[in-house]
Structure 1
C-alpha cells in the first residue's frame, strides 16, 4: 500500500502527457502545413521555428520532469513531478503551451500571425507575479538601523551593565 500514491501520480502524469500530445501535435502539424502552403521562403520558416521554441521547450521540460520511470521489470522507479498541480512553474509552462497553440489555431483559421501576440501575456504575467511577491521578500537595511532597533530591546539591568563596561576600568595613580 505504500506505493499506491506513487502509482496514482504516475498514471495521472501519463494521462496529462497523453492529453498534452493529443492537443499539441495535430495543431502544430496543421500550422506547419498552413505555413508550407502559404509561404515557402526561409525567413517565414525561421520566424515559425522561433515562435515555436517556447512551446517545444515547455513540452520537453514537462515531459522530462513528469514522465514516470520504470525498470526492466515494469516496476515504478520514479513517478515524476506532479503535472496536475495548480500554481507554480508547471502551471506556467502549461499556459505557455496553450497560448502557443492558440497562436497556431489563429494562424490556421484566419491566416494571420497576430494571435501570436498573446504570448506577450506570458512575461507580463510573470512580472505581475514577481511584483506580488515583493512585499514578502526580506529587505536588506543598513546596519545602523539594526543597531538602533536592538538598543531599546535591552532591559534596564542590561543597560546598566553595558554602561559600566563602557567606563574606564583602570585607575591611574
Structure 2
C-alpha cells in the first residue's frame, strides 16, 4: 500500500503544523523557510507519489504545470561546510536532476503539456539543457539572473548601479 506524502516526506505530521521540528529536536533539510522542508527525491516512493499528484491534476483538466526551483531537487550525497558562500554550488543542478525530471514527465504523461521550470542560481546554458525538446524535461524555463544586475559584489542587500551585461 502506497503511503501519502505526509507519511514519507521529511517531516512528521506534528512537525508539519509549523516549526514543530524545532520543538521535537529533529534535523531536516530546508533551502528556504523552515516550514518548507525539501522533499527527498532520492526516495522512489516519494517520486511515485509526485507522479500520482501530477496525474490527478491532469485528470482534473489542468493543462500545464509550473515547477518551483525545480533544478534544486537533486542533492549531493554528502554535505560539506561552505566557507565561501551559501552552499548553492553544492545543490544547484544536482547529479540526478535531469533523471528525476524525465521520470516525472514520462510517468505522469505530461510530455505534451506546457511545463515551466523556475531555475534558481543556474546559468542560461543550463536552462537550455532543461528545455531542449530532445531532453523531454520541460517546455520552458525562467531564471532570476536579471534581478541581480544591481547587486553590489553579489549581495542583494547592497545597491549598485545596474550592469546589464552582467
TM-score, shorter chain, exceeding 0.5: no
- Which structure features the higher share of strand residues? 2
- Which structure features the higher share of helix residues? 1
Highest RCO, 1 vs 2 (Cα 8 Å, sep ≥ 6): 1
The TM-score with structure 1 as length reference comes to 0.26
* Higher Cα Rg, which structure: 1
The TM-score with structure 2 as length reference comes to 0.27
